[in-house]
Structure formats: C-alpha cells, structure tokens
Structure 1
Amino acid sequence: MAHEITRRSVLSGITASGLALFPAVAIAAPVTRVLVFSKTAGFRHDSIPAGIAAIRQLGTRNGFTVDATEDAGRFTTQNLAQYQAVVWLSTTGDVLNAAQQVAFESYVNGGGGYVGVHAAADTEYNWPWYGDLVGAYFASHPAQQQASVIVENRTNDSTAHLPAVWSRFDEWYNYRTNPRGRVNVLTRLDESTYRGGTMGADHPITWWRAVGAGRAWYTGLGHTIQSYSDALFTRMLLGGIRVAARAV
C-alpha cells in the first residue's frame, strides 16, 4: 500500500509533456549548506563580489551556510557531498578539468542542485553535459538597458513574488538555442521593450529542469552590481537555490 501511494505521488508530479514538476513526494528539506563557485577563465564580471555577499546574506537570513570559492579543486565527490546546491555565479570559460567534471556530473545526477547565474551560460562550451545542464549557451548581448520580463510561472518558489510583468535594467543575453521544450520556462523577455534581442517572441531568460535525481535552475539576470541589492532579484535567487536544493 505504501509503495502504491508513493508511486501515485510521483506520477502526479509528471506533466503530459513528460517534464517533471515538483513531485508530491515529501522529499523537501531545509537548505543547510551551499557552495558559490565564481571561477572565470574569460570575461570577469565586477558584480561577482556583490553576488557572493548577497548570497551570504540570504544564507544568514534563511538559516544556511554559504561557502565561496574559485578553487576548482573543491570539485571532488567527497567535498561536493556536503552541499545541497552549487551556485555557478557568472563563471566564464573552461573552469573544471576532466576529473572535476566527472565529480560534478555524479553530484547532480545523484541528487545535487545546480544554480546558474548570468554568465554561467558563457561557460564550458566543450562539455556537452554542462550545456544540457545549463539549458542554453550564451550567444551575444546588446548594451545594458531597461526591458520587460514576462513571468510565465508565478507558482514556482523563485517567481511567485514577482509581478506579472517585471521591468528592470540588466544585460540581456541572447542564447544559441531556445531551451523551451527541454526546460520548464519561468520567465521570458519581451523583445519589443528593448533593442538587440535576436530570439523573437519566445525568449526564455529563467528556467529550471530535473537532471537525473538532481535539479538545475538558471537565470540570465544578474550582470549588474545593482542586481544584488534588488530585493525582487535576490528573492528570486533564494527561490532558485531552494528549487535546485529540492527544499521546495
């Protein structure tokens, strides 16, 4: 009987399209420890220190420990096991070697969480598994400017607090491919509200998906230093960490 209840609960979390939604099984637990990884092998964002400080503040306010590193040597099976999620904060270029890649794949597939912020999509172009994890690779961006973000899903923990249309200033990425159909899109850009978009009417900018037993959550927002003092953005980031860590 218990097995059948669990089976029905899992099935209730699957959509007709086959993408996993939040399962009804009681697996959620509070976030306790998160790793922020911000190694760069290309362009380096000056917002990285502000991002680390903001995530540390989120941890202090919400009861979880935050470790920050740019040491790829921390990517071992033993070390990663202590974290419920790893935040790739505007990483760029090739940042892990082959052994470290294997360790991170095992971590996520085994139930760990991945949170990608902004230039995390400008990272590891020659690692196909990572490209699938992040959802889409960076292609280009226009000048920083104001734009409207359309919130498609206002039930997800990372977007439930947002207005239906969110006007904000940031650097807006175009992606090499449209991830829709492979990810659960949370927000998209309205390209009619700014100049330089190349993806047309359907321009996802925040999404999440299941990867093995783990979860991946990504947002293209977060280029500017000011983003990390924006309460709407930092609350979205907190929700992304919770989603990836399976705390919701």
Structure 2
Amino acid sequence: MAPPFKILIFGRTMAYRHESIPAGIRALHRLASASLSGAHPFTAEDSEDPSLFNPTSLSAYRVIVLLQCSGEFLDDIQLDALKGFVRSGGGVVAIHCASFAMQSSEWYGRLIGTVFDNHPDPQPGRLRILDPRHPNMTCQCSPDDTDTRPGEEALERTWLDEWYNFKTHPRTGSTGGDLHVLLSVDEKSYKGGKHGDDHPVAWCQSFDGGRCFYTSLGHFDEAYEDEWFTGQLLGGILWTAGFSSVNNGP
C-alpha cells in the first residue's frame, strides 16, 4: 500500500461565513480516517492560517480543500503560492462559497470555473446527474432517490440548498482548461434560477497544470452527513490528487 498523501482543509473567510464549516471539517476528517484502510489513503489537516500558503508548506500537500472560503482570503504572495501549487500538479477541491472568494483575481475565477453572483432563498430543487460514471461521482443515488425521464439518461435527485447563479456560465467562461459538468439543477423545480435549461452546479477540470473540482452544493450541515454528497467530495479529492479510479475499498 502506498503511504498516505496529505490534504489541507482550508476554511478561512473574509466575508460571509457559513455555519456549516465545522460540519464540513468533521466530514472531511471522517473521509480521511476511512481512507486509511483503502487503496488511496490520505490524512487531513485543517487550518485557517494563510501563512501556510507558501511554497514550502504547500509542498507537503497533494490536495487543498477550499471549504467555503470567502472574500480576499489570500494576499498576493499567498495567491502566488497557490498558483505554484496548482502549476506543480496540485489538486484543488472547492466547496460552495469558494466561488465567492478572491474576486480580485481573474486566475482564481478561472481555477474555480466561474464567479458567484447571487442566489434565491434556500429551497428544494431537482438535480440532474449528468455523468454518473465519472470518478468524482463515487456514490450513486439509491433507486428511491432517482428516476430517469423518458428519452433521458441523466439520473435525478431532489436536494435542498442555495442554488447559486454565476456571473458567467461555467460552460462558456474562459477557464483555460477542459471544464466538465457533472451536475445541473432543473430551474423549473425551484424559483430564482438565472441560467435557463442548462444550469451547472458541480464540475471538474484540468487547469494550469493541476486539477480542480468545484461543487456549489453544501450550504447546510446536513449535506456533510449525506453519503451521496460526501462521496462526491471523496471522489473529488482522489480525482484532483491524480487517481483515475476512486475505488477506495480494502
């Protein structure tokens, strides 16, 4: 078995702070603990200390999880260290409010894939699972939670969250990578959507030498107790770490 790699869970906020950050930290530590008996073990450290964003410190990690970071959470030197980490092949998993961060940096926006604009009040919506076979989608919905509409292959699931609208559409923005949409939300299932029939909410891409997985889901504590959602975080960690297979069993 290969030695465990390390991930950094970083939850610093300089603007809005989500109450679900502690739940996210606990969930990610649980995933790390469970991975130690699997094929791709990893350990997790959590911090809000931006001084870690220097080349020496970041070289210890294979993946950085930006857990609900907001505002200008890095200065220019620290942002340069993140750029160096990605350009050296590092992985980034960005969750929910991370698209609301570092709006001064065009590079950061391309790393995430787009920039948060606004959202309606939290409400249930119908998710479309566009690529259930992608390595990031490690946990499939149970039959009770999914259906397939006539003529469509996409699985579907009802989910309660904040449905983010973005300043530019993720598929058409200039990311400099190969952004691949994994989940979208049906705007007819809730009120307040701004992207029409194609509203991405989670995607992944190779970018500037590294890999990034972003999900706009995860507003509530309950998401981090949900195996379907945390399975995607696990898949994102392993995929951004460079593993094509996410089978983490013994």
Matching of residue 216 in structure 1 with residue 212 in structure 2 = yes
Select which of 107, 115, 126 maps to 1:137: 115
- Match for 1:128: what amino acid? E
The offset of 1:75, in angstroms, is 0.4
Select which of 69, 92, 96 maps to 1:114: 92
- Match for 2:191: what amino acid? R
2:65–2:94: 8 Å Cα contact kept in structure 1?
Answer: yes
- The equivalent residue for 2:160 is 169
1:66 alignment partner, SS class: strand
- The equivalent residue for 2:67 is 89
Please give the TM-score of this superposition, normalised by the length of structure 2: 0.85
2:170 alignment partner, SS class: coil
**Count of aligned positions:** 220
Between the aligned partners of 2:205 and 2:183, the Cα distance in structure 1 is 14
Map Cα deviations across residues 126-170 of structure 1 (whole Å, 9 max, x no partner): 011100000011011111111111011111122253341021111
- Match for 2:18: what amino acid? H
- The two structures, once aligned, show a CA RMSD in angstroms of 1.3
Between the aligned partners of 2:92 and 2:181, the Cα distance in structure 1 is 16
1:31–1:242: 8 Å Cα contact kept in structure 2?
Answer: no
- Match for 2:30: what amino acid? Q
The offset of 1:59, in angstroms, is 0.1
Between the aligned partners of 1:92 and 1:79, the Cα distance in structure 2 is 22
Ranges in structure 2 where 5+ consecutive residues have no aligned partner: 37-41, 142-154, 245-250
- The equivalent residue for 1:247 is 243
- Match for 1:77: what amino acid? P
- Match for 2:225: what amino acid? S
Matching of residue 58 in structure 1 with residue 26 in structure 2 = no
Between the aligned partners of 2:57 and 2:31, the Cα distance in structure 1 is 22
The offset of 1:31, in angstroms, is 5.9
- Match for 1:123: what amino acid? A
Runs in 1 of length 4+ with deviation above 3 angstroms? none
- The equivalent residue for 1:38 is 11
Percent identity, aligned pairs only, is 37
1:68 alignment partner, SS class: strand
- Match for 1:178: what amino acid? H
Between the aligned partners of 1:171 and 1:142, the Cα distance in structure 2 is 7
The residue correspondences of 1:151-230 to structure 2 (distance < 5 A) are 151-163=129-141, 164-181=155-172, 182=175, 183-230=179-226
2:125–2:158: 8 Å Cα contact kept in structure 1?
Answer: yes
2:138–2:231: 8 Å Cα contact kept in structure 1?
Answer: no
- The equivalent residue for 2:144 is none
Map Cα deviations across residues 10-56 of structure 1 (whole Å, 9 max, x no partner): xxxxxxxxxxxxxxxxxxx8862100010000110000000000000
- Match for 1:119: what amino acid? C
The offset of 1:213, in angstroms, is 2.1
- Of 53-62 and 145-154, deviating more is 145-154
Residues 1:199 and 1:122: Cα distance change in structure 2 (over 3 Å): same
